[in-house]
Structures are given as structure tokens and as C-alpha cells.
Structure 1
């Protein structure tokens, strides 16, 4: 009867049925029971005295607590611990080979470069070590609260990038530290990882809560990729692991178009001018050592600034061959989560890059500047009408050798307006902006009859400038030498300076 209850307990854990787990434990099921796996195979091989031959082997595999940890069920882990599951016992299990109907002697015995009937063997010094390799913080809480021993070896392991969640948890919370001396935390805090999780899921409320609790607005994902390296005979042996830097919190919010989250990060001091870059791991069903050394990171994406990413321009991607390429319409992004642990082959997802005018307006209002493509010049200029910033911001547009810069200023000298700085160093086709502005070629009106008084000025950089002194905000674009087509927020008039 006890064996039946234990088997039912394992089944309930694998189904995630917390209530059945609780009932079975109350009825006497063993909280420390281990799953038993029996492998049966028919060996059809001429080397056997009698072929075919039926063979059977069994192994004690995952414990009930290990299953709860790996299935991510904190409630079930809690039930097991309350009933006496030992978090400090070693964890070990095997998984069988999948040969199908064609078992040969070497498949069973592991001879002739074959891996044998048990393909993988996993081992951890304790359930706590298993939990920190990929378990959530709630499961870690349960283990720590039920007497899991924190050893020097565990702490040493937790310092590695692979175990940053656990190490951050110990640093963030008042855990009993009598078992080992804790060095200062150098990795991201648990609240930082939670912030990235919240942004990935578009949870604005959670983002605000975590930022208020001290999460770092400049935090980046940590991406750990693992691979089982095959030798020349195709047999898998050594496990390789590497950790890289993924998307920043700001990059995630921009890529996914979460304007309110970008605003929240900006309010908490995120660096809006820093270059944005992240790495994406490669995905393969089988790795050889040479491939791992050269190709484990499939892509490295980079943008000069947040505004470049928001406008989807000037991005570059460095692929496995090491050559940078322009990033035109889509980027590879990492899987969801602040701390991502990957087993091959699924490694990334694609996101289409779409300029977000709301985010562009927000970044401009915060003083960001960038070079913009023709498809954005007039839209961004129209967006500027609504910004009315309290400090300077500059956007620029370069097509070939033609440069346009729009500087927005709150300088009293300019009457809370903006100046268009333009410098002709080449030609610029007139039709580039035709669909965004009602462009005409009227004769130049006298400056006294223009909507605003046009003044010839020099910008601080020495570039010839026209300043439009108007109560509204005047928008302009230099289309060719001597012509400035402008429209105002008040009347939409077209004019050219004298």
C-alpha cells in the first residue's frame, strides 16, 4: 500500500496537483521517496548466445522534492518540506537512452563508443544546489526556511553567473548566515531580475513597484547558455557553459513599445544616452567543441543610443562570422526573464523593429539626440510641437552630404522656440519629404511679412542658423540650397527665408 501511495505522490507532483500531494502526505506517503525508472529492452544481436534476449534494469531517479523544484511548484515543495523532506540530501538521477526497436549489445552495455542504456546522469550535492541552478526564489525561500544548509561550497557556486539568482536572494534578505561567510554581492539584485521579468511581461504596475523598491533601471539581462559537447565520434560528453549580457531594461521597453515603462525608467534615472547592445546565443541540437568556441553567441546587436533604437535606425548586428551588418527591419531578442538559462536548441525570438513616435517624443523631451532617416523627419518634427521641452534637445537628419539639425531650446533669448541649423555640403532630392509636407516653391516673401521674423544667426557650433521668433513652434526642413520649407503650429504657412 505504501508503494502505491508513493507512486501516486510522484504522479501528483508531476501533474502539479498540490491538493493531492497534501492528501497523500497526510495519508503516509514518504516525502523523501524517489522516482523509480525501469528500462526494458529486447537485444537482437548475433554476439549473444541466445538472441533476441530480454533485459531489464532499474534506477532510483529524481526525489519528490527534486521534481517539485524542477517543475517550479513552490506550494508542493512547501508541503514536502513540512512533512520532513530533507533539503540537504544529495540529488542524482539518470535518464534512459531512446534506441527504439533496434537495441544492440553495445547500446545496452555502453561499449564500442556507445553511450549505454542510461544516456544522462545528473548530480547535485543537495536540493539547495539544484534549486539555485534554475529554481525560482519562492522555492529557495521554502528550502532555506526548512533548514537547508548553506555551505562554503554552495556560496562559492552561488558567486558564479550561473547561480546569480540565489546569490542575490541571500544578499537581499536576512537569511541565517551561520554556515558560511558571505562576500559582498557583485551581481545584480533579485529585484533587478524581477524588474526585467515585469518589463518582458508588460506589467507596468509591477515595474513601478520594483523601481520604488530600489531596482536598478540600468540593469541588463544575464543570459547563460549550456551545451553538451560531442566528440569526434558523436558521443556527448563535456558540458560547456557561458554567460553573456542581454538586453537592458530600457532596450526591452523600447523594443516592445512600452512608452509608460520607458517613462518610468527615465524618471528613475536610466541612462538615455548610453549605447545599447546585447548578445543572443546560438541554438544547435548538437555541439562540437570547435563550433562552441566560435559560434556560441549567434548575434550581437548594437545601437548608438536609445533614440536610434526607438527610430529603428543605424543598428548593427555582428553574426557568427564576426562581420557587422546593418540591422534593418528586425532584431533577435532573448527569451523572457531577467536571468535566462538556455538549453539548446531554442535560444531566441525575433522582433520587428517599428519606430514608436510616443517613445521618440519622450526621448526627445529628455534631451536625447540622434540622426534620423527621411521617413521620420516630418513626423518627429510634428511630434516636437507637442513636446515644448524645458531644456535643449537636438535631432538631426543626414542624407548623403546634406545635414539638417533641429535644436529645441528654452533659452529666453529665443522666446521658447526652436532654431533650425542647416549646412549644405551636397545635394538632397526634393521628393524625399513630399508625402509628409505640402512642399511648394513660392517666391521668397520679405522677412517683415513672414509669420515670424526670420533672423540670421550663428549656432554655438558655428553652423549658419535661422531662428523663427514665433509664439507657436515652427517646424522646418532644408530641402535644397537656399530653400527652407517651414510650417508653423499656428497656421501651417509655407515660407522661405530671404
Structure 2
């Protein structure tokens, strides 16, 4: 069994460091507490985790472990005649780990203004790229399918230039071939609908079945959260500003104008430490 395979089978209290794809799969207890507290809306747990040294930029881990067959064949059921896909030939268990959603993104998904503020005060990076991957279940995992998973071809990948663009729904959804998914991108930008990984700091997907790998959420554009991001140094891109103008939300426009004026006054006073881009 590989080191990642051993990690997948460990209990909740065992967290050995496992380097993988340029990041450590294991999370420290404070980091686990932070993510779990953010996801459950436990503001006190968030504060405790940060006092214990949790990284405000921590991202959850998603570990996929599946039995991979040489190929798949279709066979009819003895009872109803329906064809079912089955694995054929020898099989091996393989694992792949990726980084999931950040604590800040999870707080924004929950529309939790207080926790967003706490994370920003603790040093969460508002200008870091936001991205995560989603995998769906399969009737059979073949070597060809697994090769693509290893190469990073998961079913859906979300990408946003920053937390601010995530807050405004300015992002992209890509399919497993790396092409923009028009329907999912439109749902994201118009409705705020997207898929996220299931709850937990360490998401362990072992031979997952349908509906075990993801959740559907709707993210609301919250002017209070946008204000916090801007006040903590978020850099508005031209597309972000254009989105606010196009939406014609008076509360959001007011936030941008007020923060912009505040930054300009600070510059005049010679005390600005923020950078404004495109506005």
C-alpha cells in the first residue's frame, strides 16, 4: 500500500505528514478545527483554531481512493435485463489527493460575515487565486479514466482570480477536458449555483457512489463581505468593476464608491497601504 493509501485508512486522530503534488496532504489539528468550524458556522471554534496557530489560508484536502480495473464491460442483469457496467480483469487500488476549498471561501459560501472578518483579520489572502476540483462517482474506474484523473482531469474545476471575484461570481467552470463549461459557468455567474466538495477538512472518497462526492450550493453576492475584502486590500479587476456596474445593485455600487473614496483620502494623507487596480 502506498503512503497515501495508508493515510486514507488512518483514523481521525492520526495525521502523518505526506508530501504529495507539492503540498502536504496531512493537516494539523488546528487547521482541521478551523475548516470544520468554518463549515459548521462555529465562530468560537474558528477563534480557538486561530489562537492555536491555524493557517487562515488553509485549504481542505480531497483524497480519492478507488479500485482501478484494466477495462470495463457491459453485462445484462439476471433479473431485469438492464445492462450494467462492470470491471474486467485484474484491479489495483490507486489514490489521488488535491487541494479543496479554502477556509475563506467556505465562510463566503455560508454568507458568514463575522467569520470572513475574523479570517481576514488573521491574515487570509484576499488576492490569492481561488480554485478547486470536483470528482463524480463512476460505475467502474478503468486505467484510462484513472490516467486522466492523475493528470488533473477531474469532472469540474472552478477558477476565480481572487476572493473578490468569487464574491461577485466572476469565475469559470471547466469540464474534464479543460474546456469552459458554458452551462455551469452561466449558472455560476447568473444564479451563484456551483458544486463544492462534501464537508470535512480531510475529505476521503473511497470508491465513492453517486452523490457522495459533492454538494450543490447557491452563493449570494453580499455587499458586507465585498466591503471587508476591499478594506483588506482586494484588488478590483476591470471585470469585477464591470460586473458591479452591469448588475446595477445600488448597495454594491455604494460599497465600491465608499471604499474607493476612503482609499483616495488615505493616499492624500500619505498613509495608504492598499493598491487599487482598475478603479
Query: TM-score, normalized by length of structure 1?
Result: 0.32
Structure 2 gap segments, 5+ residues each = 1-14, 16-26, 73-86, 170-219, 265-275
Tell me what 2:157 maps to: 121
Alignment correspondent of 1:63:
102
State the Cα distance separating 1:86 from its structure 2 match.
Answer: 0.8
1:265-414 alignment, distance < 5 Å: none
What secondary structure, in the 3-state scheme, does the structure 1 residue paired with 2:90 have?
A: coil
Equivalent in 127, 138, 143 of residue 99 of structure 1: 138
Which ranges in structure 1 are unaligned for 5 or more consecutive residues? 183-498
Q: Does 1:20 align with 2:103?
A: no
Q: Give the match for residue 175 of structure 1.
A: 259
Secondary structure of residue in 2 paired with 1:175: helix
Note the C-alpha offset of 1:153.
Answer: 3.6
**2:166 counterpart of 1:141:** no
In the aligned structure 2, how far is the partner of 1:180 from the partner of 1:34?
26
Whole-angstrom distance in 1 between the partners of 2:100 and 2:67:
22
Do 1:43 and 1:54's aligned partners in 2 also have CA atoms closer than 8 Å? yes
Computing the radius of gyration from Cα coordinates, the structure with the larger value is 1
In the alignment, which residue of structure 2 is the partner of 1:200? none
28, 33, 39: which one aligns with 1:8: 33
8 Å Cα contact 1:61-1:94 kept in structure 2: yes
Deviation at 1:149, TM superposition (A): 1.7
1:82 lines up with 2:118 in the alignment? no
Q: How does 1:408-427 map to 2 (within 5 A)?
A: none
Q: Which has the higher helix share?
A: 2
Name the SS of the counterpart of 2:93 in structure 1: strand
Distance 2:163 2:223 in 1: 14
Distance in 2, matches of 1:68 and 1:181, equals: 26
Residue 45 of structure 1, CA deviation: 2.3
Separation in structure 1 between the aligned mates of residue 278 and residue 100 of structure 2, nearest angstrom: 33
Distance (whole Å) between structure 2 residues aligned to residue 160 and residue 36 of structure 1: 36
Deviation at 1:148, TM superposition (A): 1.5
Indicate the residue corresponding to 1:156 in structure 2: 242
Distance 1:53 1:45 in 2: 9
Distance 1:116 1:87 in 2: 25
Q: Does 130-139 or 170-179 show the bigger shift?
A: 170-179
How far has the Cα of 1:95 moved from its partner? Answer: 1.0
Residue 46 of structure 1: how far off its partner (Å): 4.1
Shift of the alpha carbon at 1:155?
1.4
- 2:168, 2:243 within 8 Å by CA — same for their partners in 1? no
**Relative to structure 1, is the Cα distance of residues 117 and 181 closer, same or farther in structure 2, using a 3 angstrom cutoff?**
closer
* Residue 56 (structure 1) shift: 0.5
TM-score with structure 2 setting the length: 0.55
CA–CA separation in structure 1 for the residues paired with 2:246 and 2:66: 41
1:129 and 1:46, CA in 2 relative to 1: closer, same or farther beyond 3 A?
A: closer
Is the CA contact 2:64–2:97 (under 8 Å) kept in the aligned structure 1?
A: yes
Instruction: Please provide the CA RMSD for this pair.
Output: 2.9
Q: CA separation in 1, counterparts of 2:54 and 2:35?
A: 10
Question: 2:71 touches 2:142 (CA, 8 Å); kept in 1?
Answer: no
Deviation (angstroms), 1:106? 3.5
- Secondary structure of residue in 2 paired with 1:176: helix
Instruction: State the match for 1:334 in structure 2.
Output: none
CA distance in 2, matches of 1:108, 1:168: 47
* 1:40–1:150 distance in 2 versus 1, CA, 3 Å: same
Number of residues of Structure 1 aligned to a counterpart in Structure 2 = 174
Contact 1:40–1:54 (CA under 8 A) maintained in structure 2? yes
Q: CA 1:117–1:44 in 2, change beyond 3 Å: closer, same or farther?
A: farther
1:281-336 deviation per Cα after TM superposition (whole angstroms, max 9, x unaligned): xxxxxxxxxxxxxxxxxxxxxxxxxxxxxxxxxxxxxxxxxxxxxxxxxxxxxxxx
Shift in Å at residue 168 of structure 1? 4.6
